[in-house]
Amino acid sequence: MATNAIPTLHETVTPPSATLSGYANEAFQDFTDHEVKAGMQQALALVASELGREYPLVLGGERVTTAKKIVSTNPARPAQVIGTHPEAEVAHVEQAVEAAAEAFKTWSRVPVATRVQLLLDVSQVIRDRKQEFCAWLTYEVGKNWAEADADVAETIDFLEFYAREALKLDGATTPIQFPGERNTLRYIPLGVGAVIPPWNFPLAIMAGMTMAAVVTGNTVVLKPSVDAPTIAARFFAVLEECGMPEGVVNLCQGSGDLAGAALVSHPKVRFIAFTGSKRVGLIVHETAAKTQPGQLFIKRTVLEMGGKDAIIVASDADVDAAVEGVAAAAFGFNGQKCSACSRAIVDESLYDVFCDRLVERVEKIKVGEPAENVYAGPVVNAVAYKRVLDYIAIGKTEGRLLTGGEPVETEAKGYYVKPTIFADIAPTARLAQEEIFGPVLAIIKSKSFDEALDIANNTEYGLTGAIYSASRERLERAAEEFHVGNLYFNRKCTGAMVGAHPFGGFNMSGTDSKAGGADYLLLFTQGKSIAEKI
């Protein structure tokens, strides 16, 4: 534990609102600047010297190890170990939940100003070590420098934004004061929560879900992805450094089938915040809906479960802008974003020229080592590698291969696949319906704008979408009829910014959680109305 411990409930706390300025998104780094580039190279060298360490579970402050291990490796160099972590068993989940339940008794009563200050302190530490965290992301999940920087910046954004929103929530009032009464409204914490984040934004989403719960007075059992456990362990170390009390967050690395399942079904776990696949998200939702013996509440689920996102290119679109937006949205971080464009729906009048220009643009994308800041790196692991190649094989039976379609062999045996584009895909084809989560794009021809909207809406998902058009009428129609949680006009469908683009989707894309928005913290609280006769 750090010596600068969080103040107790009885200590005087200076409200952060007295010194907080307005919220602004964290600026991205310019890696073309010589000093910034040199700093990133130094950070990569520093992190390289720390690879292979073993990290414990941390349950109520107790360091715990196990015989069975999770070994995290570099997807660009699978023989390179990033970190080794104990794999929690059911008994460890029980210990973690009990530690969180005990900590909740005091943390839930700590002043909001104190909880907010924790987020601000953590934000500052991460800002000070921004390039170091970028380097961990590059090594553990294969992000190039810009993608890693965006992940770290979003982490800072979540912490800063939720700190300010917590202060606003603490100042909530009733719409009216009833005559003869003093009416107050408080948003109180739920209790112990399970946070189960994904590997593709292993810092931002993990930290955002965790600290949204913490700043509202809850305690957390954090079960990171087995593909990104080291980043979670490094973040947890910052929490301790900043004085987080024992048990407020408990680091419980483990598999989804064992630790994750035990956590979701535990009768003392009040809520589950999950980001991942539709398949697993539905299991979480179904499991949480079953009341366990001794359970006194209805569990709440906050779910983000992926997408099959489309960009519509209308007949009056700026073709060059659309090509650039589709290329970036489809192949940024190798298509491994729930918001990634996996379908381009192109009007027949532009279809051929769009396909030609997109192929020309995508074939300029270089594939290689993320640590060397090559744009397209590997997919995350061997399972993802096989899945993407299997979908490419399906695509060859469903459409016309325009470019890519094969793995990239490297000396280090990384999990590289060329950016791949298929044309002439039917709207109902598997390539147009199933989430691939890799660098594969399906191009679908539309005969009219009406048909384009129908195609865009014909999947079970509804996360992000975009439309390129010069027509205000078409944009307004899309605003009403394009059924997604995050819709963008004349820009790519990835890159949601905290505060500006509250993020979450419809249908099988989840519970429309709107992370990074003004409503998000409400998901981790319950309203308590108090009326006093005067």
The catalytic residues are: 304, 338
Phi and psi at residue 130, to the nearest 5°: -55, -50
CA 500, 502, 508 angle in degrees (round to 5)?
150
Q: Give the dihedral of Cα atoms 372, 144, 135, 243; nearest 10 deg.
A: 170
Place of tokens 């279809």: 351
* Residue 367 and residue 379 in contact, taking contact as beta carbons nearer than 8 Å: no
Q: Which of 496, 493, 495, 497 is nearest to 478 (CA)?
A: 493
Beta partners for 51?
Answer: none
Q: Pick from 418, 458, 451: which is nearest to 351 by CA? A: 451
Q: What is the dihedral of CA 395, 399, 402, 404, to 10 degrees?
A: 10
Judge whether 215 and 162 are in contact, CB under 8 Å. Answer: yes
What ranges in 173-277 are assigned the alpha helix state H? 204-215, 229-241, 261-265
Q: Distance between CA 311 and CA 488 in Å, rounded? A: 9
If DSSP codes are grouped into helix, strand and coil, which group holds residue 417? strand
Element (H, E) at 443: strand 440-446
- 3-state SS of 126-149 is HHHCHHHHHHHHHHHHCCCHHHHH
Q: How wide is the angle at C-alpha 278 spanned by C-alphas 93 and 91, nearest 5°?
A: 10
Q: Which residues are within 8 A (CB) of 202 and not within 5 positions of it... i.e. 6 or more apart?
A: 137, 140, 141, 151, 224, 225, 227, 228, 231, 232
Q: What's the CA gap between 282 and 64, in Å, rounded?
A: 31
Number of Cβ within a 10 Å radius of residue 105:
10
What CA–CA distance (Å, rounded) separates 344 from 359? 13
Sheet holding 57-59, edge to edge: 62-64, 57-59, 249-251, 219-222, 192-196, 269-275, 300-304
Beta strand pairing status for 249-251 and 181-189? unpaired
Residue 445 one-letter amino acid: K
Structure tokens belonging to residue 308:
């099959």
Q: Which residue has the tokens 């460890």?
A: 92
Closest CA to 107 of 193, 195, 189, 199: 189
Report which residue type is found at 102. E
What values do phi and psi take at 270, rounded to 5?
Answer: -85, -30
State how far the Cα of 517 lies from the Cα of 499, in Å rounded to an integer: 5
